[in-house]
C-alpha cells in the first residue's frame, strides 16, 4: 500500500464542504485516500465524480470501494452524479434524492436496475450512456414513492413501470427501440422527447407511438432528412405537443389543421417544403413560430405570411448569421424568445443547477 501525501490536510479542510467535484484519473489511489480519512465529509450535500470509466475488473472494484466509502461517510448527501464503466455491484444510496448516473458500454444495466428501488429517497433520476444505445431489462420503479421525474438518454429498457404522477423524459430513442406492451403504461408519463442523428433519413411517418404520449409537451428532433419532394411527412402524430423543434438539411412537412403548438421552430439548412391544411387557423392560433431555411419549396409559407398579415400579427423576415439562410418569425407573446438550446428534462446536472437544487461550481 502506498501513502497519499496531503490526505489528512485535505480531509480537514473538506470536513465542512457542502459540494465537491472530483476529477479522478486513478481510482485505486482514491480508494487508498478514502481509507486514510478522505471519507469524513459529514456536511457534504452534493458530490460529482468525473473521471475515466473503470476499464478492468480490479479498477472497477477500486472504483466502487472508494465511491462507497465516500457515500457512506456523507450522511447529508442528496445530489450525486457519477460514471461507472464495469460494475460488479451497485452501492446503497440511502440519503440521495437526486441521482445522475452515466453507464458505460461494458456495464450490465440489470445490476443498476435491481438496486435502484433500494434508493428509496430518490426524487429525480437521470440514466444515460455515452454509447449510441444501451438495451436494458425491465425498469421497475413503481415502488419508489418519492420519485417524481426520470430521464433516460440512450438507455432503452424492455419496459418501464413508474410511480403515479412521475414524469419521464426521453433522449436518443426513436424508431425500433420503443416497442411492445411493456411501454404502454409509461407513455402518458412522457413529457419531453429529444433525438439527434445527423445520418438518419425519415421518409415515411413520424413514429406511431407519439400519439400515445398524450401528455407530451416538448419534442426536439434533428435528423439528416425529413420527407422527400414526393412524400411530405404528416405531423398529425405531434399535434398534441406544445413546443416543437424539427431540424434537418432538407424537410418536407405537412402541418395539420388543428394543433396544440405554442412554440414552433422548423430549421432546414438547405430546402424546406411546407404544406398547411389551414393557413388561417395556424396564423390565428399558433402564437410563436419560426421557419429557417436556405430555399423554399412551394408557396405555402408565403401564404402563411399573408394570413399573419390579415391577423395583424408581427412577422419578421431576416437573415441570421449564416447569410445563405432566411428566417420568418411570428411572435405574439410580448418579450417572447424561443430557446430550444436549454435541456427540458429538469433532472440532469445542468438542469439541477439551473433550478437551484444543485450548487453551481465556480470555475
Q: What is the pLDDT of residue 2?
A: 44
Report, as an integer, the average pLDDT of 229-238: 91
12 domain residue, yes or no:
no
The 10 Å CB-count burial string (b at 16+, else e) for 187-200 is bebbbbbbbeeeeb
- Tens of pLDDT along 270-306? 999 999 999 999 988 998 888 988 888 988 888 888 8
Quote the CA–CA distance of 138 and 160 in Å, as a whole number: 6
Lowest mean pLDDT among 28-42, 84-98, 121-135, 213-227: 28-42
Quote the CA–CA distance of 331 and 316 in Å, as a whole number: 9
Number of structural domains in the chain? 1
Round the CA-based radius of gyration of the chain to a whole number and report it.
24
Lowest mean pLDDT among 198-212, 243-257, 276-290: 198-212
201 domain residue, yes or no:
yes
pTM: 0.84
Grid coordinates given for 29? 489511489
Q: Which of these, 54, 101, 65, lies nearest to 82 by C-alpha position?
A: 101
58 domain residue, yes or no:
no
Quote the CA–CA distance of 228 and 226 in Å, as a whole number: 7
CB-based contact 18:46 (threshold 8 Å): yes
291 domain residue, yes or no:
yes
- Tens of pLDDT along 130-144? 777 778 888 999 999
328 domain residue, yes or no:
yes
Contacts of 296 (CB under 8 A, 6+ apart): 271, 272, 273, 302
Q: Can you give the residue range of the structural domain that contains 282?
A: 193-332
252 domain residue, yes or no:
yes
311 domain residue, yes or no:
yes
22 domain residue, yes or no:
no
Whole-number Cα distances in Å, 310 to 122, 220, 314, 329: 52, 30, 10, 16
Report, as an integer, the average pLDDT of 314-334: 65
CB-based contact 281:275 (threshold 8 Å): no
> Do the bridges between strand 326-331 and strand 315-318 make them parallel or antiparallel, or are there none, so unpaired?
antiparallel
Distance of CA 354 to the CA centre of its chain: 14
pLDDT band of residue 87 (cuts 50, 70, 90) is low
Q: What are phi and psi of 250, to 5 degrees?
A: -130, 135
Amino acid at each position: 500500500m502506498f501513502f497519499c501525501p496531503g490526505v489528512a490536510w485535505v480531509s480537514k479542510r473538506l470536513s465542512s464542504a457542502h459540494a465537491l467535484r472530483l476529477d479522478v484519473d486513478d481510482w485505486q489511489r482514491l480508494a487508498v485516500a478514502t481509507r486514510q480519512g478522505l471519507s469524513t465529509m459529514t456536511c457534504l450535500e452534493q458530490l460529482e465524480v468525473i473521471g475515466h470509466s473503470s476499464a478492468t475488473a480490479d479498477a472497477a472494484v477500486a472504483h466502487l470501494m472508494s465511491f462507497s466509502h465516500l457515500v457512506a461517510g456523507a450522511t447529508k448527501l442528496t445530489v450525486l452524479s457519477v460514471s461507472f464503466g464495469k460494475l460488479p455491484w451497485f452501492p446503497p444510496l440511502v440519503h440521495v434524492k437526486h441521482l445522475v448516473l452515466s453507464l458505460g458500454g461494458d456495464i450490465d444495466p440489470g445490476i443498476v436496475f435491481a438496486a435502484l428501488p433500494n434508493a428509496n429517497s430518490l426524487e429525480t433520476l437521470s440514466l444515460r450512456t455515452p454509447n449510441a444505445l444501451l438495451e436494458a431489462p425491465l425498469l421497475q420503479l413503481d415502488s419508489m414513492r418519492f420519485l417524481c421525474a426520470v430521464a433516460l438518454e440512450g438507455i432503452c429498457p424492455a419496459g418501464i413501470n413508474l410511480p403515479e404522477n412521475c414524469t419521464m423524459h426521453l433522449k436518443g430513442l426513436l424508431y425500433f427501440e420503443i416497442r411492445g406492451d411493456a411501454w404502454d403504461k409509461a407513455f402518458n408519463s412522457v413529457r419531453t422527447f429529444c433525438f439527434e442523428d445527423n445520418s438518419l433519413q425519415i421518409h415515411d411517418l413520424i413514429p406511431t407511438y407519439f400519439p400515445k404520449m398524450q401528455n407530451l409537451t416538448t419534442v426536439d428532433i434533428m435528423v439528416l432528412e425529413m420527407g422527400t419532394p414526393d412524400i411530405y411527412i404528416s405531423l398529425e402524430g405531434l399535434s398534441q405537443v406544445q413546443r416543437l423543434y424539427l431540424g434537418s438539411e432538407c424537410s418536407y412537412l405537412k402541418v395539420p389543421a388543428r394543433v396544440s403548438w405554442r412554440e414552433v421552430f422548423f430549421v432546414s439548412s438547405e430546402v424546406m417544403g411546407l404544406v398547411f391544411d389551414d393557413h388561417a387557423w395556424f396564423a390565428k392560433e399558433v402564437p410563436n413560430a419560426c421557419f429557417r431555411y436556405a430555399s423554399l419549396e412551394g408557396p405555402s409559407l408565403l401564404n402563411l405570411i399573408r394570413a399573419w398579415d390579415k391577423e395583424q400579427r408581427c412577422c419578421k423576415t431576416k437573415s441570421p448569421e449564416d447569410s445563405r439562410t432566411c428566417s420568418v418569425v411570428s411572435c405574439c407573446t410580448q418579450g417572447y424568445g424561443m430557446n430550444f438550446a436549454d435541456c427540458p428534462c429538469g433532472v440532469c446536472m445542468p438542469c439541477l443547477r439551473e433550478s437551484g437544487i444543485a450548487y453551481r461550481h465556480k470555475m
